[in-house]
Amino acid sequence: MSHTAAPAAGLRSISFGGGVQSTALLVLAATGQIDFPLFLMANVGADSENPGTLRYVDEYAKPYAADHGIELVVLDRVRRDGTVETLWSRLTREGSRSLPIPVRMSNGAPGTRSCTADFKIKVTAKELKRRGATAASPAVVGIGISVDEIHRANNRRVEAHEQIVYPLLELGLRRTDCARIIRDAGLPVPPKSSCYFCPFHRPETWHTMRRTEPDLFEKSCQLEDLLNERRTRLGKDHVYLTQFARPLRDAIPDGVDVLPMFDEADGLCDSGWCMT
């Protein structure tokens, strides 16, 4: 079954995450292999996104897009009062009970999440509607899911004025192909995009962060501590950023390496709006 409908006239945009797959889509668009002149990046916040991703976007993706006539726009989540909300600020706001990220509950089960919907899908949808997308003339939105992650693809329409397509699937490209496309364009391969404190990280991702980016690891630990201090006051069970039902500092001990035993997202982050 094809995951991409026939090309439609009108607004055509890529959901740009700043990672390997969506950067490959940028190269493919720049070289005329796909028809997407607009790339929209919904930014969860400079205090929330992987700093390496934001550096890559500023230093490589934006200049490359500009040089090839591609419009790459970074969008913030703006509240009704005009202020910018980041995912970190929502999680840490004084008095907040919000748990928008997919924390693991004390029994190991994943909790519900709203981060992707609120900080990715709705932000992009709002901009597409502002640019003229309607239910009668929906914007075609390309998602960067590659063949090796085909299980993440679905045809769910999140907004009536959007038509979701999967260009990498149509072209039969895998993540390794995406990295080659990026290198062939003379660009470095970007790091994997995600919030640095995302509970969908593999254990080895956490170990690498503890070893190479200890400040980010400590901030993630502090976030977990804060969430559980609140839950203790509310008489609720603790939640965790890993599937091990232990505090992050204990679950990911310092100086200990792990084998790659778990898939990123454990099959749960299936929308394709994140980690591409």
Which segments of the chain have a pLDDT < 70?
1-9, 155-158, 256-272
The pLDDT assigned to 7 comes to 37
Query: DSSP for 164-195?
Result: EE-HHHHTT--HHHHHHHHHHTT-PPPPPPSB
The pLDDT assigned to 96 comes to 85
Contact between residue 118 and residue 86 where contact means Cβ atoms under 8 Å apart: no
Between CA 40 and CA 104, with CA 77 as vertex, the angle to 5 degrees is 100
| Domain coordinates in residue numbering, the chain | 12-195
The domain covering 12-195 belongs, at the CATH homologous superfamily level, to HUPs (3.40.50.620)
The pLDDT assigned to 241 comes to 96
- What six digits make up the tokens of 30? 């720049």
Q: What is the Cα–Cα distance from 27 to 127, expressed in whole angstroms?
A: 23
Q: What is the Cα–Cα distance from 24 to 144, expressed in whole angstroms?
A: 8
Kindly report, residue by residue over 86-101, the tens digit of the pLDDT: 999 999 999 888 799 9
- What six digits make up the tokens of 225? 């501590």
**Pairing verdict, β 38-42 and 71-75:** parallel
